Chains A and B, each alone.
Chain A
Amino acid sequence: MQLVKWKLIVQTSSLSSIGVSMADREERRFAEVPRESVKLMAESAGVELGDDVAALLAEDVCYRLREATQSSSQFMRHAKRRKLTVEDFNRALRWSNVEAICGYGAQDALPFRSVKEGELFFIEDRDINLVELALATNIPKGCAETMVRVNVSYLDGKGNLEPQGTVPSAVQSLSDDLLKYYQQITRAILGEDPHLMKVALLDLQSNSKIAALLPYFVYVISGVKSVSHDLEQLNRLLHMVKSLVQNPYLYLGSYVRSLVSSVMYCILEPLAASINPLNDHWTLRDYAALLLSHIFWTHGDLVSGLYHQILLSLQKVLSDPVRPLCSHYGAVVGLHALGWKAVERVLYPHLPAYWANLQAVLDDYSVSNAQVKADGHKVYGAILVAVERLLKMKALSLSQSAEGGFSSQPGSVVGALGYGVSSPGLSPPPEPLSEAALGIASHLQAGGAGCPWEEWTPVPLPAMYCELYSFFGDSLAVRFSTGPGFGSYPPCTPPQPNDARKDPPGPAANPDTTRKMPQLTANLNISPRQDGSPRTEPPPPSLAATGPGRSLARSSSSSSSVQRSRSSSSRSGQRSAGPSRDVFPKARFTTPQTGPPAFSFLIGGRQMGRRCQGRRPFQTIFAPTPPLSAVLPRTYAHKLPVIGRVGKPVRRWACSHYSLHLPL
């Protein structure tokens, strides 16, 4: 301000350069024009002035200048500016009937210089070469059009409360730093260095400031379709999904849909990479399925609407005979990942129909069919695993409900166990969601496990077991019979008649339960759920060992699986008795020997154990997530109808490019 005043004073008193000295006394905080300057000006106008006249004039000029400056500040205030401009001053002059001063209206600051020797202050006024200016080719561009853009700055009065005036992360446009971070991370994850990738993923998992980048990462991940030939890249992208899902600071919002669809792509699609039998796309599908279940576990609130949709698409794939077996496999593992209820609802009713197709594949011993048949075995194995868990969990839930009935039951150990796997634990969280999708309030679970079953007229356990046994034979029985292993508490048989009273106790069930393989329980505690490891499904036992460094073991595992399938087919002749399905049990039996850890997966007890270990830390990790990020925008979502048009996704204003319209 002071400077501006100075400038103006100089401009008014002289248009080129004239000496102005500061007032002698410091306390007067304004400039004074010395009489010499007045004299000089008078001389230039051809008038001779006496000293006293000049002094009087100088003082008056000062006063008028101050007055004009004071009035000019009014124009500044009304223009809602902090900076006094030459234009303001000129307006003040004009309104006091004084000629305005032209030539100083430039927007940018005029360089104000002093010459030390002469105490001379002046504004630098360079000569402009008009010819050059006129012939200049770099014509300056007109400034961009004035426009209005809107952004939601604060939701429900909340936003970032950081004082530095940044907009909340949800509406932040990308800063350079973020952009760099994004580039580095994507490069590291998709690059060659596995170590770098690990670091990047770890950071992605824990970085709290990347909310603004979420859309970009999601976009990158949605690129799965374009790299369907490259298992490695797919794998990395899936890891990226996992990191994003696990980041407690990120609110995925509607992006979760995009993520889920990318994951589903990896599960279901007949990837280009799967044409080559050497490519271990099976592991990828397993991992993707694991990821899917993970998303449902942790972000159930966001994806609840998707559950049904996913079930449908899985069912569609499963019932489509034209689809390659690898897609079917994906559907099965996908269902498995969504929980045993999904298996019961979709896979189990569908099994008879599907079985015929699978049977046909498996029964074809021609050499040309070898590859397809190997795939068929994969599917078989996956189904087996899914079905077995279904049986386990169902049995468990029955016993659970039975136990709930006999509340006086003192079995303390069992009780604890039972609670550990109580209603939400019976299957992963999608279970309540599935019920919600069916219109059953999730709290019904508390009432009794029987209720949900009625919805799709569930088959009682014995009947189910009978039917499954008719498909799988001994291979199934073996696994189910391990039940007593976990069933040190009241065995599943008593609850059966208890719960399904009207059903005649399955005659086949009893002999089945007698077949036990207690040694399998030995593996209960093996937890394959190490960080990032895919859910190693039983059928490819060799894969189970691959673990996190799957990419390295890929070739060997795939070759082994091929080998195994070959061996199984060769051994098919040894089937003991009965129809063709006996082929598989033999084959299945061989597998445990090659890879015992695989079994650990299947057993209910282990499932429980895994849940207890895996889920607890899980929950503690993610507990802060919902209140932190999920709650805020969701309350907003609930209020949306009140403050504007309903239900546009948050995405629209999350982009850095705001629109003129309020996206409500």
Chain B
Amino acid sequence: MAAVQGGLIDTEEEKDIKTEPANDGCGNNNNNNTANDGRLLNASPGSISSGGSNKPATGALEDQQTLLAVLQFLKKNNLSESVEILRREAGLSEDTEDSKGLDSSGAGSGGAAGNVDSESGDANSLLSRVSVSSSAVSASAVQAPSKGAGEDQPDVNVVLSAYSQQGDPALYDVYYSSLKKFIESVLDCHRAELSQVFYPLFVHMYLELVYNNHENEAKAFFEKFSGDQECYYEDDLRVLSGMTKKEHMRGNETLLDFRTSKFVLRISRDSYQLLKRHLQERQNNQIWNIIQEHLYIDIFDGMPRSKSQIDAMSGSLAGEAKREANKAKVFYGLLKEPEIEVPLDDEDEEAENEEGKPKKKKPKKDSMGSKSKKQDPNAPSQNRIPLPELKDSDKLDKIMYMKEATKRIRLGPDTLPSICFYSFLNAYQGLTAVDVTDDSSLIAGGFADSTVRVWSVTPKKLRKVKSAADLSLIDKESDDVLERIMDEKTASESKILYGHSGPVYGISFSPDRNYLLSSSEDGTVRLWSLQTFTCLVGYKGHNYPVWDTQFSPYGYYFVSGGHDRVARLWATDHYQPLRMFSGHLADITCTRFHPNSNYVATGSSDRTIRLWDVLNGNCVRIFTGHKGPIHALAFSPNGKFLASGATDGRVLLWDIGHGLMIGELKGHTDTIYSLKFSRDGEILASGSMDNTVRLWDAMKAFDDLETDDFTAATGHIHLPENSQELLLGTYMSKSTPVVHLHFTRRNLLLAAGAYNP
């Protein structure tokens, strides 16, 4: 969809997208080169913007190249005005562009950087420091894009032309089956590894046939060998099967993904040698070419992997993640909690003296302070990204939180949480998203009829602030001024927020409960005030449906991701994104903030999960293993682990620090739409379209792991088949898909969904 209309975009719009990130000077410094190329080539507006956003970063060389590529694209599409603006903004001279020399970039980009610094001062209150200081660009990252930009012309035709070289179409069949025969004849230990080659080979050969107008051969080829492919590629094969003409390939996303991103395979050195020798002996150049051009073979030393090991990790659109993609250090520890325990202690003392048992205080404090007392060695520095300062009301809320936390039930396999179900009744318009505030006082629903509805689930009604005229009348000195500003007449159980012009797919409350975010099919993210129940800002940037959005756990920042395959990081007081995270090969379906707010996880329908560094926009983790689009993500409260749920009904557990899959929870029979860890992380709850909530023993899942010896270097994992042991319970709802899960501060599990009679 995205690519279809690449050239049709309004010039004005495109200009906006492209240039404004440069003004803000906080674009992303993305070293994910293949992905970046992909965005460039995939001539959709989203990709342009992501490319454009690369400029102000410090790695001058690749930025220069990227800019040139963008300029070329613009020229090609006769967007002369945009070209002018871009050139002006980036400080590129006509010469620079014409010469296309790698060495001429110094002056130009220096100018660009200077621009950024001077302009961003006031606009970027918090992140300007960040963008200037970011310098973590690896050497490889610098080199790769230069190659990409130099070779690849930003045109679909050029992309596809890679398929033009060809052998005899009739021989494809022979080539493929001979390879198949060979692989089937090798030793068992190598067979599983080499079998990985089948799928990408099959796809590329098929596409070559199609591209060269051998429709009938292509169909025959497909029919003959599609049955051999792993069942988890079924969806992609279905798309392929429909594509039988060269014309179809133009603008097809799946195709572009295959072409632009090398399919990554991990193969042991022995197996690889075996394959190489075979192909060279047989003079099977056709296949050898494809392997060299379109496949990235990540060779490792050591024992070949078993079939189950391979299956656990494969399934994504572009193969597995490269090992070095997950090498970066991730500060997954939690930030130190601010010291606001003094008032807490005072009040507690009073309360406890009343009760007459002040003894309890000590253990309480210990259990609470455990995560905040010491600086976690794995935690990022406190000011790694600037966080908003705590307001008085935030502190009060923290105190409330701590008090509630002392009353929290310690969950475990023997003490399972009680589950309360919030049913949305009469939601004929279609409930698409739900969120609950951290203190469980408000619940909001996003609906397919473009509305957002907020309910108070405590007896406290929702009230608007009085109008400006009325506000001027009240006594501002009075103690209860906060109470007086509320308009009692507007008190009601629920409020409806109108503003979107498409289904609302994602909503998120701000931690302080003053704001609500909603993302919609109309391409916008809206910020609503829960004081006035009006829309404050509409964030435009995604020009395609925005599937999900979420507030940072510290407020102020939020992340959104959608059909344009780019996740954006925003600050509520900026109408432009601060970061763009591009690299996914398909829609970003869900976005989550890490508890320390330094990272963002995104799940995508390319069946990968990526973890992004908010500081510099780098992709620091790629997790593959799901066999379907990912629709739910959840970080463990200690920040160490990530759980993900997909349409395949499986929950996968990931160790963020090591970048490894550590568990697989099988049981759901339909898409998992919600995941949540209990407050202390002992229990993982998953809610699914199959109308069940399942509880999993997260402690055990993670404990088992820690006793294991990690082979982090190879990344090979042995997943224990222990789903049934870890499953603590399955709880049916009343024909209500579970759309959202939430643990109250006392560990009561709230589930929500729309009742479908």
Contact = CB atoms under 8 A, between A and B. Distances in A.
A81 interface: yes
Interface residues of B, number: 84
A96 B5 contact: yes
B459 A661 contact: yes
Interface string B727-747: 011011111010100001011
Interface stretch (A37-45, A64-72, A251-259, A319-327): A64-72
A28 interface: yes
A79 B430 contact: yes
Nearest to A151: B421
B704 interface: no
Contacts of A74: 563, 587, 605
A148 to B, nearest CB: 5
Contacts of A154: 416, 418-419, 729, 731
A661 B547 CA distance: 30
Given A80-B737, A146-B453, A167-B734, A96 B4 contact: yes
B497 to A, nearest CB: 13
B187 interface: no
B418 A660 contact: no
A639 B416 CA distance: 12
Interface string B397-410: 00000000001110
A21 B673 CA distance: 38
A140 to B, nearest CB: 13
Given A148-B457, A150-B457, A661-B458, A156 B248 contact: no
Contact of B735 (A144, A152, A153, A165): A165
Nearest to A157: B416
A95 B417 CA distance: 43
A303 B431 CA distance: 45
Interface stretch (B238-246, B343-351, B465-473, B482-490): B238-246
Interface string B558-571: 00000100000000
Interface in A148-200: 148-159, 163-167
A427 B329 CA distance: 73
B223 A27 contact: yes
Contacts of A157: 415-419, 695, 728-729, 731
B317 to A, nearest CB: 14
B575 interface: no
A483 to B, nearest CB: 49
Given A153-B733, A643-B418, A81 B430 contact: yes
A644 interface: yes
A107 interface: yes
B25 interface: no
A148 B441 CA distance: 13
Contacts of B544: 95
Contacts of A82: 670, 689
Contacts of A165: 691, 732-735
A292 to B, nearest CB: 34
Nearest to B590: A78
B242 A30 contact: yes
Interface string A412-452: 00000000000000000000000000000000000000000
B647 interface: yes
Interface string B440-464: 0001010110000101111100000
B739 A146 contact: no
B425 interface: yes
A75 B521 contact: yes
Nearest to A82: B689
Contacts of B184: none
A97 interface: yes
A71 B3 CA distance: 13
B426 A145 contact: yes
Kindly name the residue among B407, B420, B503, B505 whose own CB sees the greatest number of chain A CB atoms within 10 A. Answer: B420
A151 B736 CA distance: 13
B4 A63 contact: no
A389 B580 CA distance: 88
A149 B422 contact: yes
A662 interface: yes
Kindly name the residue among B419, B629, B747 whose own CB sees the greatest number of chain A CB atoms within 10 A. Answer: B419
Category for how many chain A residues contact B = 35 or more
Contacts of B448: 79, 87
A27 B224 CA distance: 12
Kindly name the residue among A60, A75, A144 whose own CB sees the greatest number of chain B CB atoms within 10 A. Answer: A75
B174 interface: no
A62 B563 CA distance: 24
B418 A78 contact: no
A72 B78 CA distance: 32
B421 A80 contact: no
B72 interface: no
Nearest to B247: A60
A80 B430 CA distance: 9
A643 B746 contact: yes
A68 to B, nearest CB: 9
B1 interface: yes
Interface string A361-402: 000000000000000000000000000000000000000000
B82 interface: no
B420 A151 contact: yes
A660 B423 contact: no
Given A107-B428, A662-B457, A150 B423 contact: yes
A644 B417 CA distance: 13
A643 B629 contact: no
A28 B240 CA distance: 12
Nearest to B423: A149
Given A30-B242, A67-B242, A642-B409, A146 B673 contact: no
Contacts of B563: 74, 95
A91 interface: yes
A134 interface: no
Contacts of B751: 153
A660 B443 CA distance: 10
B432 interface: yes
Interface in B549-564: 563
Contacts of B4: 96-97
B575 to A, nearest CB: 24
B674 to A, nearest CB: 10
Contacts of B631: 77
A63 B243 contact: yes
Interface in B220-272: 223, 238-239, 241-245, 247-248, 252
Contacts of B587: 74
A286 to B, nearest CB: 44
Interface string B509-551: 0000000000001000000000000000000000011010000
Nearest to A27: B223
B689 A660 contact: no
A150 B456 CA distance: 12
Contacts of B248: 60, 63
A144 B425 CA distance: 9
A147 interface: yes
A501 B18 CA distance: 104
Interface in B1-19: 1, 4-5, 8
A92 interface: yes
Contact of A148 (B247, B429, B455): B455
Contacts of B457: 148, 150, 660-662
Contact of A77 (B8, B223, B425, B647): B647
User: Closest 7 A-B residue pairs measured CB to CB?
Assistant: A157-B416, A165-B732, A154-B419, A144-B426, A66-B242, A643-B748, A153-B421
30 contacts: A27-B223, A59-B244, A63-B245, A67-B252, A70-B238, A78-B432, A78-B589, A79-B432, A80-B432, A80-B671, A80-B689, A82-B670, A82-B689, A96-B4, A97-B5, A146-B425, A146-B428, A147-B494, A148-B424, A148-B457, A153-B420, A153-B751, A157-B731, A158-B416, A164-B732, A167-B734, A642-B409, A643-B744, A644-B748, A660-B493
Given A67-B252, A75-B503, A157-B729, 6 more contacts: A79-B430, A80-B671, A80-B737, A152-B419, A643-B744, A664-B748
